[in-house]
Amino acid sequence: GVFAHLETLEAQAHEAAMEEEETEQQEEKMARLKARVRELRLRRDKLQAKVDLRQKGLGKEGGMLDPAEPSARAVLEWKIRSLKAMLQVFYLTGISGKLTRRGVCFCLSTAYEGIYLDSYYLDLLTKPEVRIHRHSVPIFIPLEHIAKQYLQTDIRRFLAVLSDHLNAYTGRRYQAEQLQEHFSDQIEGTLQSNSLCNLLVFKYNVSSKSNTFPFSVRLLYSDLCCSLPTEVTVSC
């Protein structure tokens, strides 16, 4: 019994060390991505400054040419470059997109601890104002609330918040699936969960010699942008 308990503790310590190492790798990867995002934003700002200077120069030119026409063209070119740069930045964070005839179609990819999970699509119209045309976001994700907050004022923030919600949801769902798959022999009955997977309830048994101890677990994820529980209740 003592040696078996020690072996269990050693296995748990090894697993914890592996998880810590994987977490450090994820943090390093995230740091590199953030640095790349800052670099692209700086490049975008420099391009915008060049376009502004060009517009001022065209506005001062005289002669037979109409200064309004090249100025409008310069603005359009800058908008296209900015949009492409934005799509490049989003691609580094799991969000990709392509221009359509009426707007932009985004693909939001989700993952948990380096494991690719699902992709969701968002088709936006840009005229006369930015609005959602079609999407594959689950109905229980607060898409309408997020859009009301950020879509018209900050589309980058809108996509970032929506991506956080989707990644957290798929991460919670993945953990629940892994729990049922790998510990089905210890879980009693069926793991209970709601659609958002932010409330998980299950029971399991722990045996020691001739005694069996039934445990009941309740995991609550009050932060919908988090894939780890904020409250854990275990009763025996």
Summarize pLDDT for 51-92 with one digit per residue, the tens. Answer: 666 656 555 544 444 444 455 666 666 666 666 665 555 545
pLDDT of the residue at 171? 93
Q: What is the pLDDT of residues 3-35, one digit of tens each?
A: 565 667 667 776 777 777 777 777 777 777 777
User: What CA dihedral angle connects 8, 9, 13 and 15, to 10 degrees?
Assistant: 20
pLDDT of the residue at 21? 73
CA angle 135, 137, 143 (to 5 degrees): 95
pTM: 0.60
Domain positions in the chain: 185-235
Helices (H), the chain: 2-60, 68-92, 143-150, 155-182
In Å, what is the CA distance from 123 to each residue of 168, 173, 188? 22, 25, 43
Residues with Cβ within 8 Å of 210's Cβ and at least 6 positions away in sequence, in order, are none
97 vs 5, residue with greater confidence: 97
Average pLDDT, the chain: 79
Tell me if 119 sits within 8 A of 109, measured CB to CB. Answer: yes
Tell me if 202 sits within 8 A of 217, measured CB to CB. Answer: yes
Which tokens hold the place of 112?
A: 């948990």
pLDDT of the residue at 49? 72
Q: In whole angstroms, give the CA distance from residue 227 to residue 225.
A: 7
By three-state DSSP, how is residue 159 classified? helix
**Phi (first) and psi of residue 125, to 5 degrees:** -100, 140
148 vs 99, residue with greater confidence: 148
